[in-house]
Structure formats: structure tokens, C-alpha cells
Amino acid sequence: MKLKCDMLRAFIYINILLYLFLFVIFGLNLPMSNKLVLWVIFNVYDVVAYWIVGIMAFAVAMLSNPPIKHRKAWEIIGTGLLLYGLGDLWWDIVTLLYVSSEMLNSVQDVIYILASAFWTYGIMQLFLGIFEKKIVQQIPSKYSLISGFVTMLLFLGATMAVYEANSQFISELIVNEIYVLLDFVFFYLSLKGMLWAGYLGIKPLKRMWSYMFAAALMLAILDTLFAVMTDFFSTYAMVLAYLWIFPMFMIGLASAEYINYLKFAPSEIFLSK
């Protein structure tokens, strides 16, 4: 069975439009007092969507016949996405039952951090698998310097903002800084991959890393804003919580473009299987 890029891309676009429709019609109009309806529409949809994108990553690994290192990378990314859905499910159950236990919330953070660590490591492995040493030697060093400078500048800004908001709560500060650190490792790899692919002139690869970059940028913004908000159950924080699905959709689009890359990339880009 061969996966088709257009089929996966269309599936993600349909889900993005559907989610935006639900968000505009229900998320912005239903009163917060109608929490059960909001929970069913968004929280259940979120978990299912995370798992679908995770399954897509595994499908890319198993059905698109990629090089071995690429396949392992997509499996790790898929594991991270499935874990993220599990963390969201745990959070949904805890909030639905109105449980405010410190221990239960800590479990949710552990799952989210593990999920972020998995997909960040998977993306690192994918980056290293695609850009072999013989390819990297052809790319000017300025792209690495630009990626490093932009990432460090934004990372320092986000870190300082999180510290200012959480400095009195050491455990929350550590957890939130870990989220931000993982986000910016992802950000650096995807920005560098996007610039390198653009230099090499491989359009499907550039689109893939562009979607990854969009996902990393969204995650960095959302995690930073959420960490800065001290009242996690405020209206603004709850609206932010609905937006985490969009970075996952971007990873889904990246997986679709990867299939195009396998089809059209020059043979010298590939690792031996």
C-alpha cells in the first residue's frame, strides 16, 4: 500500500477547516457555563486529532518505504504525538471531574514533557538522517548562524518572561522552562532545515520543514503565553488551550510533504537503506 501526499494533505486541511468552524461557532459563542458541551466538542476532538496525526506519522514510517533512519525518526515522532493525546485525555478527565490535586496535575505535566521530548528527539533524528555530512558540506555556514542567532534571541526572551511570571513557584518554573527549552530545540532544527532545504532547492523538503517550523513557532508562543498566565482557568487561558491542536496539524502536513520528498528528491540526498 502506497501513501499519497495529496490524500493526507487534504485530510489535514479538512480537519483544520472543521476545527476552525467549530471554534468560531461554538468556542467563541458558547458561555463558559456550558462546560460540558465545550468539553465534548473540543477536548474529545483534540485527543482524537492528536492520535490521528500520530498514526499518520507511523503510517509514513511503515507504508512510504523510507530509509531506515527516517522510519525510526517518524516512529519516535508518532509516539510523541500519541503520548500528547494521552496527556490531553488525562487533563480532560481531571478538569471534567473538577479535580485540583497537585499530584494529578503533575502526572499530566510528566506525560506532556515526555511527549514533547519524544517528538523533538524524533525530529532531530529526521534532521540528521536527511542532512548527511556530504550534503551539509555544500551549505554555507551563514544559515546555521542565522538559525542559532534567531533561536537564542527568542529563547532568551521567552525564558525571561516565564521566569518573571513563575519565579515564586520553583516547581512550576522548572516545568515551564523545560517546555520552552524543548520548543526551541524543535524551533532551531526546523528553521535550520527550512533554510538548508531552500538553499538546496528541494521544494517538497522545504515545504516539509516549513510546516515543522510553523508547528515549532506555534508551540513556543502557546507554551510561553500559557506559562506567563498565572490563572490557568481564566477565559483567555481556556481559549489558548483550544489552539494546541494547530501545531499538531502542521506536523501532519509535514508528514504529507515528506512523502512528496521521497518521490521527487534527488537520489544523492537519500541515505542507504
SS3 assignment, position 198: helix
Instruction: Look up the pTM and report it.
Output: 0.86
Domain extent listing, the chain = 5-269
**Looking at residue 33, what is its pLDDT?**
47
**Looking at residue 272, what is its pLDDT?**
37
Q: 156: closest CA among 224, 212, 217? A: 224
**Looking at residue 251, what is its pLDDT?**
94
- What's the distance, Cα to Cα, between the start and end of the chain in Å? 19
Q: 85: closest CA among 236, 253, 245? A: 245
**Looking at residue 1, what is its pLDDT?**
45
Angle at 231 (CA atoms; ends 229, 237), nearest 5 degrees: 65
**Residue 47: CB partners within 8 Å, gap ≥ 6?**
85, 88, 89, 92
Q: Where are the alpha helices (DSSP H) in the chain?
A: 5-22, 35-38, 44-63, 68-96, 102-130, 133-136, 142-166, 170-200, 203-228, 235-241, 245-264
**Looking at residue 91, what is its pLDDT?**
76
Q: 138: closest CA among 70, 188, 199, 202? A: 199
Residue 268 DSSP one-character state: G
Average pLDDT per 10 consecutive residues for the chain, totaling 273 residues:
72 87 69 59 80 90 84 94 89 68 70 94 94 85 94 94 82 88 96 94 91 95 84 60 87 91 61 39
Residue whose cell numbers read 478538569: 95
- What does the alpha-carbon distance between residue 105 and residue 122 come to, in Å, rounded to a whole number? 26
**Looking at residue 271, what is its pLDDT?**
42
**Looking at residue 83, what is its pLDDT?**
93
**Looking at residue 132, what is its pLDDT?**
83
- What does the alpha-carbon distance between residue 222 and residue 138 come to, in Å, rounded to a whole number? 35
Report which residue type is found at 220. A
**Looking at residue 149, what is its pLDDT?**
96
**Looking at residue 270, what is its pLDDT?**
45
